[in-house]
């Protein structure tokens, strides 16, 4: 896969130092913008980034039990409406920047001095109206990335900001020093069109165009630091493995057709990010290579402490995938494994805290974002 070109401007210094001890690691980071450290994060995306914008009543029907134990059992020790047993990548990023965990936008009141999370589980890149027109409404979340932009604008207006960063002191206060985090988005678009007449090519074209417009809107507001993620290898999820034909496998042991689909999407999306960098040379758009980071773990899971690369920790049905779409994690029929840290997957689609921790380390160390974050200090000194 083509390595994504990632550039941080001279306005940022992000130093990641990792200390490893058995299966755990800790890291500290100093991040600098023109005004000092990143003081806030605004996050967008789907269930891989959602810290509580969906609940049992409104989340994807297949995973409607996110408000029930054992979700959240590893770190928070109670459900937080995160689709995992603990922290997500965005939580580790917040820790790295010495910021509080991001509150979800829905139900939040107040100033949100350290940022806010607009990501919604089940959210799509393509506008919901597209699925309505094509009668693709079964088991889907109505929110899209455009919905999240509407929420973001409402939040900005509530803080007195109705323009770009430079338009008013209120906008500068809200947006200056902010890291914009756009988690993976687009997996649900493909999932909602499975078995329909809508082709993968159409989904890819519309989804990437939508996210491009979303990013352009952010950049026109004057934001300077944006992190975007590509799609993971979706064919490695127990849901895909359980539903696909047994002869549809690649060299990772995952569903070949699904992985080819997410790989192609990722390649095109990377090119789009490169084009945006040229259009907005004063801003920094960092691409995190989710596909290759995840694939690296799948190639040698034992190296990262995982014993179960394909089976869901929390689910029902037992080996080989422990996934039943009618008895998903949190339901009365499902059970959780006693050792989630040995599993890559948590509930059939979403990852364990242990896997999110590994991916965070890969992203923040610079191994799957280029140049490495530790080199930014030199870039700043010679800026």
DSSP 349: S
Give 15's contacts (C-beta < 8 A, 6+ positions apart): 29, 30, 373, 374, 376, 377
47 is a catalytic site residue: yes
From the list 47, 84, 262, 316, the catalytic residue is 47
**Residue 382: active-site member:** no
CB contact burial 166-178 (16+ within 10 A = b; e otherwise): eeeeebbbbbbbb
Pairing of strands 335-336, 314-315: antiparallel
User: Could you tell me the end-to-end alpha-carbon distance of the chain, in angstroms, rounded to an integer?
Assistant: 31
Angle between the 290-299 and 256-279 helix axes, to the nearest 10 degrees? 140
Decide: 33 and 170 in contact? Cβ < 8 Å: no
- Catalytic residue, chosen from 32, 128, 265, 350, is 350
The catalytic residue among 46, 347, 360, 369 is: 347
Whether residue 250 lies in the annotated active site: no
Q: Which residue has the tokens 């309505």?
A: 132
How would DSSP label each residue in 167-180? G-HHHHHHHTTEEE
The residues that are catalytic are 47, 347, 350
């Amino acid at each position: 896969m083509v390595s994504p070109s990632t550039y941080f401007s001279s306005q940022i210094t992000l130093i990641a130092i990792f200390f490893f001890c058995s299966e755990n690691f800790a890291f500290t980071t100093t991040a600098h913008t023109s005004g000092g450290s990143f003081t806030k994060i605004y996050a967008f995306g789907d269930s891989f980034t959602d810290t509580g914008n969906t609940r049992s009543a409104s989340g994807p029907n297949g995973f409607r039990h996110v408000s029930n134990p054992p979700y959240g059992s590893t770190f928070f020790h109670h459900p937080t409406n995160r689709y995992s047993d603990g922290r997500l990548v965005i939580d580790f990023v917040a820790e790295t920047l010495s910021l509080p965990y991001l509150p979800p936008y829905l139900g939040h009141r107040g100033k949100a001095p350290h940022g806010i999370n607009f990501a919604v589980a089940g959210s799509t890149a393509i506008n919901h109206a597209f699925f309505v027109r094509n009668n693709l409404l079964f088991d889907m979340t109505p929110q899209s990335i455009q919905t999240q932009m509407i929420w973001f604008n409402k939040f900005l207006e509530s803080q007195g900001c109705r323009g770009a960063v430079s338009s008013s002191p209120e906008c500068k206060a809200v947006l200056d020093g902010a890291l914009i985090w756009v988690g993976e988005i687009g997996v649900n678009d493909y999932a909602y069109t499975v078995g329909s007449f809508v082709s993968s090519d159409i989904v890819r074209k519309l989804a990437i165009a939508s996210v491009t417009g979303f990013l352009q809107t952010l950049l026109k507001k004057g934001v300077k630091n944006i992190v975007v993620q590509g799609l993971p290898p979706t064919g490695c999820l127990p849901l895909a493995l359980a539903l696909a034909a047994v002869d549809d496998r690649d060299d990772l042991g995952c569903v070949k057709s699904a992985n080819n689909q997410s790989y192609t999407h990722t390649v095109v999306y990377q090119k789009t990010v490169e084009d945006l960098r040229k259009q907005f040379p004063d801003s920094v758009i960092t691409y995190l290579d989710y596909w290759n980071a995840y694939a690296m773990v799948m190639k040698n899971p034992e190296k990262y402490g995982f014993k179960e690369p394909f089976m869901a920790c929390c689910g029902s049905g037992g080996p080989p995938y422990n996934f039943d779409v009618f008895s998903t994690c949190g339901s009365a029929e499902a059970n959780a494994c006693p050792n989630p840290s040995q599993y890559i997957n948590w509930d059939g689609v979403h990852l364990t805290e242990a896997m999110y921790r590994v991916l965070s380390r890969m992203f923040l160390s610079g191994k799957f974002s280029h140049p490495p974050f530790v080199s930014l200090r030199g870039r700043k000194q010679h800026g």
